[in-house]
Structure 1
């Protein structure tokens, strides 16, 4: 064989192998590996040499405030929309202004001024404080405050619980006594979590892959649009530390981590308690009582035998989620939490009559016990369909899921698709009842309310789905959600955005500078807007030019314009 051809073939095989490793990502974790907790100076130096791309000015040019002004966002000070104890002031033109306490800024005091700049904390994490200078450097050993530049290896000894610090050049290692673990021997024999770890208050601060956790008040989090202290209802054990916690009802404790300039999260390397073991530190905070779910058990009842729980119906409970709390990814969004989007559904398909497994193809939304809305372009007459309600992770069967076959698909009569846009993109799916009943209402399965009025331009609404993300072109296995702004019809149909192809049965939502958007795999999913504590289905994910692209926001089917059609096709149940 020609030598050049052989080299080309070997290069191609290497490229394919590398692509496969990237594709499988977290599924290739090596468990049971030998753990070493070494102070790796070279690794840390490499990480912090990829320092934040923070500019040295405080201009609002890049913080999105200009977009809000461009879209003529109006509002009211009741309730107070200002975060972080900002004071709301109403102006004569109907706009609002938030007077922000230091160090916060932004239209709603949602951002902090850039007190942490490039190399503020050379080999450490810059965290926010409430008093001047409004930051503090948390140094990585062996570097010392105040700027984490000078180092002093093993002096003083950083190892806890009798651990011994051993030097190796500019690196060090803590040799821990029996039953102690962690980089500094801080993890004791009774440091474990019970249940899902919501009450965990231990000292594990590393992930399953050995990454060090970020401090919960790290400036790096805030600069990436994540503020745990406003995202969660109470502090949930969060604080000025980097210990693992589970504030949002995940399956086990987790934390945020940093990969160069990217923000990530991962589950932590913390033990689950055995039956004869209790956690070393009981909860130190008082939690607000959880709202009681409609069903009496966490697991959704078997719809073929349950008699007590009521079927989902169009009643006072529609549009009222009961989330267990709030944690990225729909484009630029965050991992959804259990119960936050109980009307979200996964439309799954397979070739008609085949033995293939069902696979997720589109989002959908529950509007009645036996009726689901989705996008018309998701329907293929040659496929069998099923709808999964209540699930978060497409990669596994979850106890609170409810699955139904689709008995009938009704596509809008005037649905049409062109090379530029999709029109009247709406379809109804009738679920196949079991023993005369369809979906059963639980904390994780509820109907959304259908709209009865318009929402003003600039309203902040929510989207959710399993579609493509920044990190996965093929979709996310975890349900993701994000907030987007309703964009005026004039701006949506402007020549710089979508022009004349947009009609009155569709609208735009997102951010004109790009970044946060729905994407492939999200189609048919809900855009909901909240009023008075109730969530209304205002749009269905329909189409768009790419994902998260500047001046190309997502385009949504205007559900309000199709209420008469929905009522007529469902036998008048919404009249």
Structure 2
């Protein structure tokens, strides 16, 4: 993750410590890497379940704080931000969020009429109903009508506020399952053909193809984590439930069943570890063949819509391939990467809060920089992020480079532990670190490097739906602009982090503001920029070191910054610091021209 300035710094390439947490590990999403094996419910899989003791010790289920806490208003004081983003009295484009109506007031002002229950200058504040502990030992989910929330209790706690304890009464097991009491814990003994912790998964519960049509009842990940409801306040933006009916065309709604709304290889869901929000693939079976018959008395399960079952061995085909027939590398290179900064995601989840999950093809310029000891047979390990800017060139942070090691880049895959058919892996032929790169106890300066990939006559990476280049910026962008960072959060010697690519939205912070003594003071120079949220929050430091900070310029994504350093993660007045790419445009062009 971000290169962290600490009072006593470790070697910049030692990403792990004695406990294996990693120097960057506390920036990442702390979770297991998914196994994603074949039909794990048929194997000897140990089911992980949250017991009574785990529930009452969960820090998230703390007693409700009636005073001010981080859940009362996570917007913070952002008047300065709205001033920066004011459209000088223009209501086109509409600055009002959540279907607010914009009315101009004079030449340089406007007013937003906000629909209930939203408020704020731009209707940006939804009802803050899911304060910590409001639902006792349960999950707070958002609804569209008063009181705008509902409590989903963790068994054996009971509605309405999930504070009353009752084991097996009423029976939590579905489809005739028997509840076996064990102190304050319980087990469901399911009738034949049913499975899952609460016996909700029927014998015909399976998915076809990539599972987009799956409407079954599996609600656990491969590793046994309980799925969150899709209308959990952990997931939804702006504090309101967007689901007008129980099921929409993507199968999302006020439930916690696994779905695949964005083109992943199989159904998945979000889950929680403490206050960290993660996602993983689900423990759902692939259909062997379509079935319509079912045992008498068994309720019908949702049926897949596809008529042809997929192959269980053949991997998915990449979306884009080089043209057929003999084509020289020069001709192929000339026909590719003619445009930059325009992704082609399979299917974006527009209603789900940004910063949680990347759709396949949504950040096709993101690469994983991987290293191993020189000339060794050891496996490559992810150490940093990077961004593809040409077929044979990757930008990354200077502090990521260790020239004593072999390096390669992985691109085209959202997963580090299970690359798919769209993955491309290319060796690094040459690493060029900026000549004035230096570190101090307070900052990292000129933190930029170029990686020349190994290829033939200017052709290295192959452009596909999942591998594209980001554009270089033309000029400075305005303060307050919302941009995107991305990364895996995994480190060289640490299992902490996500094996799936994550993204987060950050705001460009005024340089003068970030140079104030209370923030970074004189450590900041014009080769750096700040982005994040001054009130703090993990979304300000979720990108891997060297990874991209991209912003929209003329409808294309430009690589405006590289994740560089910061003081801890999510700390108030300590936003992330990024290498300002606009200061290095001449350097980038000169190095590429000198190393064709």
Classify the TM-score, shorter chain: 0.7 to 0.9
Which one of 459, 464, 468 corresponds to residue 437 of structure 1?
A: 459
Question: 1:555 and 1:466 mapped to 2: Cα distance?
Answer: 18
Unaligned stretches of 5+ in structure 1? 1-15, 285-295
Q: Is the aligned partner of 1:129 residue 2:143?
A: yes
1:126 and 1:467, CA in 2 relative to 1: closer, same or farther beyond 3 A? Answer: closer
Counterpart of 1:373 in structure 2 is 395
Mean Cα deviation higher: 534-543 or 69-78: 69-78
CA deviations over 1:212-260 (Å, ceiling 9, x no partner): 4332112354599998879xxx862111122121223334323233455
- 8 Å CA contact 1:304, 1:434 repeated in 2: no
Cα distance, 1:333–1:569 mapped onto 2, change above 3 Å: same
Counterpart check, 1:361 vs 2:383: yes
- Tell me whether 1:242 sits opposite 2:242 in the alignment: no
Q: Is the 8 A contact 1:342 1:390 kept in 2?
A: yes
2:80 to 69, 76, 82: 69
Q: CA deviation at 1:505?
A: 2.1
1:195 to 209, 214, 221: 209
Residue 530 in structure 1 maps to residue 552 in structure 2: yes
1:419 aligns with 2:433: no
CA distance in 2, matches of 1:374, 1:276: 48
2:412 aligned with 1:390: yes
Bigger drift between 369-378 and 204-213 goes to 204-213
Distance 1:315 1:49 in 2: 46
Kept after mapping to 2: 8 A contact 1:237/1:283: no
- 1:9-43 CA distance string (max 9 Å, x none): xxxxxxx99999x9994579997457789997676
Q: Which moved more, 1:247-256 or 1:120-129?
A: 120-129
Is 1:298 the counterpart of 2:291? The answer is no
State the TM-score, normalized to the length of structure 1: 0.77
In the superposition, relative to structure 1, how do residues 477 and 257 fare at CA in structure 2: closer, same or farther (>3 Å)? Answer: closer
Give 1:139 shift: 5.0
CA contact (8 A) 1:224 1:263 kept: no
1:253 aligns with: 267
Distance 1:417 1:322 in 2: 38
- 2:289 equivalent to 1:281: no
In the TM superposition, residue 97 of structure 1 has moved relative to its aligned partner by 5.8
The question of whether the paired residues in 1 share the 8 Å contact of 2:508 and 2:531 is answered with yes
Which residue number in structure 2 is paired with residue 503 of structure 1?
525
Indicate yes or no: 2:370 matched with 1:319. no
Counterpart among 445, 454, 458 of residue 476 in structure 2: 454
* Rounded Cα–Cα distance in structure 2 between residues aligned with 1:423 and 1:473: 29
Quote the residue 2:10 is aligned against: none
Q: Secondary structure at the match of 1:334?
A: coil
1:508 is paired with a residue of what secondary structure?
Answer: strand
Render the CA deviation track for 1:233-291: whole Å, top value 9, x for unaligned.
x862111122121223334323233455554444333222113548942579xxxxxxx
The match for 2:115 is 101
Structure-2 change in CA distance of 1:213 and 1:354 (3 Å): closer
Greater Cα shift, 368-377 or 430-439: 430-439
In structure 2, distance between residues paired with 1:379 and 1:168: 54
- Give the 3-state SS of the residue equivalent to 2:585 in structure 1: helix
Aligned counterpart, 1:482: 504
Deviation at 1:150, TM superposition (A): 6.5
Bigger relative CO (Cα 8 Å, ≥ 6 apart): 2
Show the counterpart of 2:219: 205
Q: What is the TM-score normalised by the length of structure 2? A: 0.75
Cα deviation for residue 200 of structure 1 reads 1.1
Match of 2:516 in 1: 494
Residues 516 and 226 of structure 1, relative CA distance in 2, 3 Å threshold: farther
Q: Which moved more, 1:39-48 or 1:247-256?
A: 39-48
Kindly report the root-mean-square deviation, in angstroms, between the aligned alpha carbons of the 2 structures.
4.6
The worse-fitting range, judged by mean Cα deviation, of 560-569 and 46-55 is 46-55
SS of aligned partner of 2:508: strand
* Cα 1:194–1:88 shift into 2, 3 Å: farther
* Structure 1 counterpart of 2:283, from 269, 273, 276: 269
Contact 2:543 2:563 in 1 (8 A): no
| Equivalence for 1:289 | none
- Pick one of 78, 100, 112 that aligns with 1:86: 100
> 1:207 Cα deviation (Å)?
3.5
Question: Cα offset for 1:151?
Answer: 7.7
Choose which of 40, 54, 62 in structure 2 pairs with 1:51. 62
Equivalents in 2 of 1:306, 1:481: separation in Å?
Answer: 39
Q: CA offsets per residue over residues 102-148 of structure 1, 9 Å max, x none?
A: 33345654553233456654565443222223233445667765555
